[in-house]
Amino acid sequence: MTVSPGPFGAFASSRPELSDRDFGRVANIARSAYGIQLEPQKKAMIQSRLTKRLRARGLADFSAYCALLETRGNDEQDHFISAITTNVTHFYREVHHFKQLQTEVLPPLVERARGGGRVRLWSAGCSTGPEPYSLAGSILKLFPEAGRKDIRILATDLDRDVLAKAEAATYDADQCDTPGPEWAAQVFEPSRGGGPRRIRREVAGLVSFQPVNLNGTWPMTGRFDVIMCRNVAIYFSREVQQKLWLRFAEVLAPGGHLFIGHSERLSGPATSVFEPCGITAYRKRA
């Protein structure tokens, strides 16, 4: 830590330096525990985000912070991952996926649920919730009685802070942008002025949130009909991505759909398990 003289004498600077060695330690934890790849060019951003964690823990430097992170059995890894991940999301993001869902993918699934069958969708890396709530709004648009049938959405993320926000089901006005008012009506209670907006009760009722590390053990049993994992794998190495695509294939029903983010692509062995069926949309071969 550097000491700089100020108008009232010398104070400890509030900018601890992240050395290359400690950046390597941080990057190692991100990769081994979560599959997240931290490129060297992200060092300044990581330093800035983790400086807040040093302060919260009352630690003087990154070397002490790394030692804490490397110690088993403390909760700092949860805060660490929350600090380094990007949670940008919005309602009906990449709306072409929701159009494809509403016109092609959901109608046969809704018919199955209507007839008493089981339907499961998974929003993997759901951040603060707009993605699973957009899925639920899409289902209810086609099938207003969905809540009385066996059709449910699992929404998971490794960051417990974003899951708490998602479960609160209330969003500030600036987080409520949608591609148009007809889309907004699918998910939100009617607006009363410009304040926070609540998710419709029927929409929230279709979604269950759960912490899951995509690069850890998955607690779910049973197959999914749709998996949305968008703008998440972009943070993983190619090797980790390729393993993830195969794991998704294992938990998808034959003919099930996988939607990934606009800058992501399937690669590796999964390309023979899936066939493309839209923009960054894939169908598991039957």
Which residues would be at the binding site for ligand SAM (CB under 6 A)? 34-36, 85-89, 93, 125-127, 131, 157-159, 162, 213-215, 230-232, 235, 261
Which C-beta is closer to ligand SAM: that of 113 or that of 154?
154
- Nearest approach, Cβ of residue 192 and ligand SAM (Å): 26
Tokens found for residue 266: 């399937």
Sorted by sequence, the CB contacts under 8 Å of residue 200 that are 6+ apart come out as 137, 140, 187, 188, 189
- Nearest approach, Cβ of residue 63 and ligand SAM (Å): 25
**One of 31, 49, 112, 283 is an active-site residue; which one?**
49
Which C-beta is closer to ligand SAM: that of 124 or that of 151?
124
HEC per residue, 6-63: ECCEEEECCCCCCCHHHHHHHHHHHHHHHCECCCHHHHHHHHHHHHHHHHHHCCCCHH
Which C-beta is closer to ligand SAM: that of 62 or that of 80?
80
Q: Is 157 a catalytic residue?
A: yes
Which C-beta is closer to ligand SAM: that of 130 or that of 256?
130
Which C-beta is closer to ligand SAM: that of 206 or that of 260?
260
- Nearest approach, Cβ of residue 2 and ligand SAM (Å): 33
Neighbour-count burial of 39, counting CB atoms closer than 10 A to its CB (0-12 exposed, 13-18 middle, 19+ buried): exposed
Q: Is 49 a catalytic residue?
A: yes
- Nearest approach, Cβ of residue 44 and ligand SAM (Å): 20
Tokens found for residue 281: 């949309």
Distances (CA, A) of 169 to 127, 154, 200, 203, 208: 12, 15, 9, 10, 12
- Nearest approach, Cβ of residue 81 and ligand SAM (Å): 7
**One of 22, 93, 152, 157 is an active-site residue; which one?**
157
Q: What is the dihedral of CA 277, 233, 153, 99, to 10 degrees?
A: -40
* Helix, strand, or coil (residue 70): helix
Sorted by sequence, the CB contacts under 8 Å of residue 235 that are 6+ apart come out as 35, 36, 37, 85, 86
Enzyme catalytic residues: 49, 157
